[in-house]
Chain A
């Protein structure tokens, strides 16, 4: 157990390192001069541009900059924003909680609604509830979040006035963005849970349980669902990445604070240190969640334990 956990940890670190290399090279080969997006080239002389470039180390070779970056990163220094000299690490740490709250709330929404609809759909297979749930699932997957976000604002904020359209202060501002983002995840979960429920329902042990006279409710929720949820767990790991990426759009639509908003602004402004910092943290979070999911199989599913 310890050995596998250690091995997984090691590969996780490799994944994070790999993502850093990737980001560093992408930013490096990207067209355009970051200096020119910080200062207006029409008002600043070439000499100033050159001195800025030297100051930021942009005139040095790739590997030297990368080694420097890793070195100072290990010391907890992620550099300063090119735009306003703000240190990157505190900036990300300040905005991380808002994004975590949004991701957690939308994951919960996705899981709850997705499982609920998925089970309903499987139990009422080929009846209207099933069709309705599947259409809702398809809708969730296909709707772009910026569109569903605006739709939610139109209905629940402008027309009904139930929830604020923007901001990130207080639980009320979390509801609409969490739903807007969670709908996508719910769409995936519905389809997955439905399929795996249908598989499990047809297994021998369900027949046995029924034959023994166990109530249908117990059969479905105690036994069938528990078995059907194992693939859903993997899904949640993968989905967390999807949701994290979704915050980029949803945080902008709902004018929330968060690292999704920071990275979209930073990308527009070619604020490289900030982009690298946010991607590093996102990679760490993604890897961490999936590591936890992997390890939790052992806890949840006795068969996995026995296999090892």
Chain B
């Protein structure tokens, strides 16, 4: 009997041994390609400080493992449309100019620039000491090549096309001077050039790789591309020649301190954060709110947080569908939704409530709107009654035999708990007598952009300039698919202000214009702003000096691994 038991008991152990042996055999082909990348070590090994430390005692070397929440779609900056790709693209590519967190524009690959008096062209003087990772020199021709490449339909450029708008052509004045001509004046143009999606790629590499540049990106940035193992990791290594970092954004303008960054792709948030907690990796992005509080008490970990700029997560009320074209009705709706409690309940104090169509930090943000339009259920009820929408026996308001219903559409998967917002809004509006029908669909693009079948749809946009408002609130927003103006808003005053803001060259006057726009949009209850999305990173305490640019994308130039 005892013998039998032994055998039976050892079966699972045997199973494990078999599994392990199998893994050993089968693993080789899948990870074989990474050998050049040296991606085998899962945790960061801090190598001893190299003697060539440029800036005093900052420890050199080491590999930073940094978990991304989703896989980048492309590493070709001009073809990508994903924020997650920008985190990697930014390490490999530089831009012509840099935008500081206060919105001001500073030199990067361009040392100085001048706008023509009519605002229709910009002349840039370029740095003369910059080389791409493949040895190609950076010059005026390279700048022209890049921006023309974005316009070329064969490139299949994505977001970069709208970022570079209204760029028309470039003239090479001499080796290091380039003039960019615009179709129409645009005060947003210069700031947009700072974005990673319109950064400069090596023209030689772009010609050589064509549509496969996405797998072989070559820029002039602080890190060089090494390898991309799909659904596993993207590795970049230190560019030892780097000497042109933007001093408005980072302290270390020379070569970075880290030897390597391994961007791991870990979609499941519990796994991503768990890997940081267990020490398997050093940092992981997008920390769920419930973890932020608990991780803050962990002696070995720290949380980095940076608010994104542009448009906060906003509920757009579709005025094209009755009865929501009525401004007073929307104002009642505005008073009936308790945004403060939504944000507190779902994000546990880790996200800030939004009050304006713009986020704090974006040029022209109007702080006077904060706490201005508060939740007031009595006011909402009074307004609904006044408009003739009266509660029936079922508790739902009706007018002329029509029930007051609202169709709330949201996308799936449940990004940033947006589906939960829909559920809470549904509850809150039920209290004032509105029947909310929530549709959560993966195919929201068809429902929203093709059919326009929504009363409320929420969206946000990370952007460097308040000109971003045009696509959402200008009645003629149509360079763009017809239904992009999500609230279906047509206000001649706002149109005129947006057009004025685009060409105004005096920053103070521009700010004033955008403040007026924000006031009008909130006054007309065009939208209900909900929250400002913070980019969060959970990291080991050994990760030092992680910084963020004005759009909350991480900058690794200063990062070093301490004890």
Of the listed residues B8, B71, B264, B413, the one surrounded by the most CB atoms of chain A closer than 10 A to its CB is: B8
Whether A165 pairs with B274 at a CB distance below 8 angstroms is yes
Bound CA span A29–B153, Å: 29
B3 at the A interface (CB under 8 A) = yes
Contact across chains for A112 and B264 when beta carbons are under 8 A apart: no
| Bound CA span A168–B232, Å | 7
Binary interface encoding of chain A residues 22-42 relative to chain B, with 1 for a CB under 8 A from any of its CBs, else 0 = 000000000111001101111
Q: Tell whether, in the assembled complex, residue B158 and residue A43 are in contact, meaning their CB atoms are under 8 Å apart.
A: yes
Whether B372 sits at the interface, judged by CB under 8 Å, is no
CB neighbors of A among B104-159 (8 A)? 153, 156, 158-159
**Which among B12, B26, B67 is the interface contact of A97 at CB below 8 angstroms?**
B26
The answer to whether A165 and B278 touch across the interface, beta carbons within 8 angstroms, is: yes
Q: Which of A83-91, A200-208, A299-307 contacts B (4 or more CB under 8 A)?
A: A83-91
Among the 9-residue stretches A9-17, A58-66, A69-77, A102-110, the one with 4 or more Cβ atoms under 8 Å from chain B is: A102-110
Query: Which residue of chain B has the shortest Cβ distance to A151 in the bound complex?
Result: B270
Interface size for chain A: under 10, 10 to 19, 20 to 34, or 35 or more residues?
Answer: 35 or more
Are B19 and A119 in contact, CB atoms less than 8 angstroms apart? no
Give the residue of B18, B31, B278 whose beta carbon is less than 8 angstroms from that of A157: B278
- Residues in B with CB closer than 8 Å to A253 are 268, 270-271
**Closest CB in chain B relative to A275 CB, distance in Å:** 14
Which B-chain residue is minimally distant from A33 (CB atoms)?
Answer: B446
Residue on B nearest A47 in the bound complex, by CB: B153
Cβ-defined partner of A108 (8 Å) among B4, B19, B450? B19
Q: Which of A171-179, A227-235, A276-284, A285-293 contacts B (4 or more CB under 8 A)?
A: A171-179
Query: With an 8 A cutoff between CB atoms, is A19 at the interface?
Result: no
Known: A37-B445, A44-B158, A120-B8. A257 touches B215 (CB 8 A): no
Report the number of A-B residue pairs with Cβ-Cβ less than 8 Å: 217
> Would you call A40 and B158 a contact (CB within 8 A)?
yes
In the assembled complex, which residues on chain B have CB atoms less than 8 Å from the CB atom of A86?
215
Residues of B within 8 A of A161 (CB): 278-279
The answer to whether B264 and A167 touch across the interface, beta carbons within 8 angstroms, is: yes
Which one of B9, B230, B479 lies within 8 Å of A257 (CB-CB)?
Answer: B230
B211 CB within 8 Å of chain A: yes
A165 touches B23 (CB 8 A): no
Cα separation A167 to B263 with both chains bound (whole Å) = 12
Task: Give chain A residues whose Cβ lies under 8 Å from the Cβ of B42.
Answer: 164, 167, 169, 173
Contact of A112 among B11, B71, B162 (CB under 8 A): B11
- Distance (whole angstroms) from the CB of A214 to the closest CB of chain B: 13
Residues of B within 8 A of A198 (CB): none
Q: For B492, what are the chain A residues with a Cβ–Cβ distance below 8 Å? A: none
Beta-carbon contact of B73 and A83 below 8 Å: yes
A265 at interface by CB-CB < 8 Å: yes
Q: Is the CB of B30 within 8 A of A168?
A: yes
Across-interface contacts of B267 in A (CB, < 8 A) = 252, 255
Asked if B351 is an interface residue, CB under 8 A from chain A, the answer is no
A153 touches B271 (CB 8 A): yes
Q: Is the CB of B271 within 8 A of A175?
A: no
Asked if A255 and B158 sit within 8 Å, CB to CB, the answer is: no
Q: How far is the CA of A37 from the CA of B265 in the complex (A)?
A: 21
- In the complex with contacts A153-B271, A175-B19, A253-B268, A85-B212 CB distance below 8 A: yes
B24 within 8 Å of A by Cβ? Answer: yes
Assembly CA distance A283 to B494 (angstroms)? 57
Q: Are B158 and A101 in contact (CB under 8 A)?
A: no
B-side contacts of A153, CB under 8 Å:
270-271, 274
Per-position binary interface string of chain B over residues 26-69, scored 1 when its CB falls under 8 Å from any chain A CB and 0 otherwise: 11111101100001101000000000000000000000000100
Main SS of chain B's interface residues?
helix
Q: A94-B30, A169-B27 are in contact. Are A252 and B15 (CB under 8 A)?
A: no
Q: Which of A33, A111, A154, A252 contacts B274 (CB 8 A)?
A: A154
Q: Are B481 and A217 in contact (CB under 8 A)?
A: no
Known contacts A175-B16, A254-B271; decide if A104 and B26 are in contact (CB<8 Å).
Answer: yes
Judged by a CB distance under 8 angstroms, whether B350 is at the interface is no
Chain A neighbourhood of B446, CB < 8 A: 31-33, 36
Query: Is B248 an interface residue when CB atoms closer than 8 A count as contact?
Result: no
Instruction: Say yes or no: A167-B231 contact (C-beta < 8 A), given A31-B446, A108-B15, A112-B12.
Output: no
* A115 in the interface (beta carbon within 8 A): yes
State the Cβ distance, B285 to closest chain A Cβ, in Å: 13
- Would you call B449 and A36 a contact (CB within 8 A)? yes
A150 at the interface (CB under 8 A from B): yes
Give bound CA distance, A95 to B26, whole Å: 11
In the complex, the answer to whether A166 meets B231 with C-beta atoms within 8 Å is no
* B361, CB-defined interface residue at 8 Å: no
Contact A42 B481 (CB under 8 A): yes
Contact B264 A158 (CB under 8 A): no
Option from A44, A256, A265 in Cβ contact (under 8 Å) with B71: A265
Given contacts A32-B443, A83-B73, A150-B271, contact A101 B230 (CB under 8 A): no
Check if B230 sits within 8 Å of A174, measured CB to CB: no
Instruction: Please determine whether B215 and A84 come into contact, CB atoms closer than 8 angstroms.
Output: yes
Query: What string of 1s and 0s marks CB contacts (under 8 Å) between B208-237 and chain A?
Result: 000110110000000000000111100000
By beta carbon, the residue of chain A nearest B7 is A221
The B-contacting residues of A in range 245-282, CB under 8 angstroms, are: 251-258, 261-262, 265, 268-269
- Most chain A CB within 10 A, of B20, B22, B215, is at B22
Q: Which of B271, B471, B479 contacts A166 (CB 8 A)?
A: B271
- Leading 7 A-B pairs by shortest Cβ distance: A112-B15, A101-B26, A105-B19, A171-B23, A174-B23, A116-B11, A255-B266
Known: A95-B231, A161-B279. 8 other contacts (CB 8 A): A31-B443, A42-B480, A43-B81, A44-B481, A84-B73, A105-B18, A154-B274, A217-B1
- The 28 sampled A-B contact pairs (Cβ below 8 Å) are A43-B161, A44-B481, A83-B74, A84-B73, A94-B230, A97-B27, A98-B27, A101-B22, A104-B26, A105-B18, A108-B15, A113-B15, A120-B8, A158-B274, A158-B278, A166-B266, A166-B281, A168-B27, A168-B232, A169-B27, A169-B40, A171-B27, A173-B42, A174-B19, A174-B23, A216-B1, A254-B268, A268-B413
Q: Which residues of A contact B (CB under 8 A)?
A: 31-33, 36-37, 39-46, 48, 51-52, 83-86, 91, 94-95, 97-98, 100-101, 104-106, 108-109, 111-113, 115-116, 119-120, 146, 150, 153-154, 157-158, 161, 164-171, 173-175, 178, 216-217, 220-221, 251-258, 261-262, 265, 268-269
A-binding residues in B (CB < 8 A):
1, 3-4, 7-9, 11-12, 14-16, 18-20, 22-31, 33-34, 39-40, 42, 67, 71, 73-74, 81, 153, 156, 158-159, 161-162, 211-212, 214-215, 229-232, 264-268, 270-272, 274-275, 277-281, 413, 442-443, 445-446, 449-450, 471, 479-481, 484
